[in-house]
A and B are shown apart, each in its own frame.
Chain A
């Protein structure tokens, strides 16, 4: 029980920190509210105050608030997907972007956008976004199956194989996506920057609702799995003896991670390294106790991505830095740190 209350304590601390960052982020931006403040504007919006000017309302609700919520959802899911994968592969290097799930998702999302461009006018917005989301899910799911088949045999994962499969999938995805962008004239595909470095600029409430639904479904199934993942660390046979249905657990993780990575990629492109950075820091604090780091990574991922996004849109205002630059800047050194630390065991 003591451990449980400790976990709640940390969760509350993270929630408070996240709230503070969200408040700062709400106050950051080039739009000037004049004699109104962003917080008052938001309050007026919530109350339905008729005196709130249209552009104040739009900036606070449809631009800043939407973007903050998207950063929270995407950051959280990317981080949890990294943590779960690391539990599944029993390796700190397994993350969606390194083993190629993100590229697989990007590829199918891009194909869906190019093909869907022909009939998308006739579809409602929710269906349009869902189509791309579903395609991205299929892409990440197929990549996941491929990586798992190639790199894992008899419950043992060959890390080199896992990473190299990721490299191969990324290369294929990159080339085909590049080709699609080259042939799609009317920028329906946005550009390569979006698919390689990600962006939260296109946040809308429709997208947030879809992301929120995915998050809720994923977390109901995944977050209580901390103890089971701890048991997996002992090896699959021992976990089986402890009464854990290993095969079922693996299947659940594979499908849910693919779903999370897929929907994040469909709406925010490729934001790398979040699933590497957050679990790494949490491991430094709590060792590999998944009962702790799984729920905490859900919180800390949001903190990380919201901070990065707030920086990305304020450093070079009025334009923005692609957010993937910032996450890669943080993640690269940590990747090297992990390699050095586990040099012997990799």
Chain B
């Protein structure tokens, strides 16, 4: 019984600390969060969509984003990070009292979607396709949703950027490896990476499956890529170039033999937002480098 009372009192103590902390937090947010200049308070739940809203000049209206929204970096300080789409719950979204929620159909979980729908907040879910056309369509739809018709310049910029992509004589086979800790996944067809690799004048080394699949040594050897492609953070996590060369099967491939490893910023590669042209040019340059 004594133990029980002790445990209970510890619980109460911890709880009251938590409350005090929460109280402190609330006060700080009140102090820092100025009302946005416009009447829109937007929550963007996808990196690409976040970029579009910011590129259209509405960055100040974004009050919260998800973890994939890494660009523009200034959002880190102005918008609340709601974490990962998969573990997100409704109350933190409600807490920023948004007037508009923008999300992609690719990554929102149905439970949360149901909650968002019943919350009565205006919500737009966009169909996202990882193509230049798809990006342009997305830009148009997002622009309409936030009441801005001046989006043509973003599309023009994408076209101008893409013009800078130089054709590569011998298309390199590129294998994108998504590394998170010990989990290695490779991207197959219909992924943003595969699409960007094609745009940049390479070809995706995986042709026999869609989406992401766990990396197996045999599949790597079979795909025999000329270049290994990573997110910068993923490559660091995997132990840099050294670590990548030690991955199962890699040593048997052209990429492993010639030590051709490239990395780009994850948000830039997978966003398929207004910077899709820039991303293609960047990757194109890296591929030209690595085929020399």
Contacts and interface: CB of A to CB of B under 8 A. Distances in A.
Interface of A: 24, 27-32, 54-55, 58-59, 62-64, 185-188, 190-191, 193, 201-202, 204, 281, 284-285, 307, 310-311, 313-315, 317-320
Contacts of A63: 90-91, 94, 115
B223 to A, nearest CB: 21
A265 B211 CA distance: 30
A143 to B, nearest CB: 26
B10 to A, nearest CB: 12
Interface in B87-125: 87-92, 94-95, 97, 109-111, 114-115, 118-121
A125 B234 CA distance: 41
Contacts of B82: 318-319
A320 B94 contact: no
Nearest to A203: B115
B256 to A, nearest CB: 28
Contact of A55 (B11, B89, B114, B119): B119
B94 A59 contact: yes
Contact of B97 (A55, A186, A188): A55
B120 A54 contact: yes
A30 B91 contact: yes
Contact of B95 (A32, A62, A188): A32
B153 interface: no
B171 to A, nearest CB: 29
B211 A185 contact: yes
A314 B22 contact: yes
B89 A320 contact: yes
A62 B19 CA distance: 22
B23 to A, nearest CB: 11
A321 to B, nearest CB: 10
B111 A28 contact: no
A319 B87 CA distance: 7
Interface of B: 1, 4, 11, 15, 18-19, 22, 26, 29, 80, 82-84, 86-92, 94-95, 97, 109-111, 114-115, 118-121, 211
A148 B80 CA distance: 52
Nearest to A24: B15
A284 B2 CA distance: 11
A31 B111 contact: no
24 contacts: A28-B18, A30-B92, A30-B95, A31-B94, A31-B95, A55-B97, A55-B120, A58-B120, A59-B91, A62-B115, A62-B119, A63-B91, A64-B91, A188-B110, A202-B115, A204-B114, A285-B1, A310-B15, A311-B15, A313-B89, A314-B22, A318-B82, A319-B92, A320-B87
A193 B22 CA distance: 27
B51 to A, nearest CB: 22
Given A59-B94, A201-B89, A313-B89, A318 B80 contact: yes
Given A55-B121, A190-B111, A314-B18, A31 B91 contact: yes
Given A32-B95, A59-B91, A318 B83 contact: yes
A31 B114 CA distance: 19
Contacts of A64: 91
A318 B92 contact: yes
Contacts of B86: 187, 191
A188 B22 CA distance: 34
A62 B117 CA distance: 12
B92 A58 contact: no
Contacts of B1: 285
Contacts of A24: 15
B119 A58 contact: yes
Contact of A28 (B22, B29, B97): B22
Contact of B94 (A58, A186, A313): A58
B111 A201 contact: yes
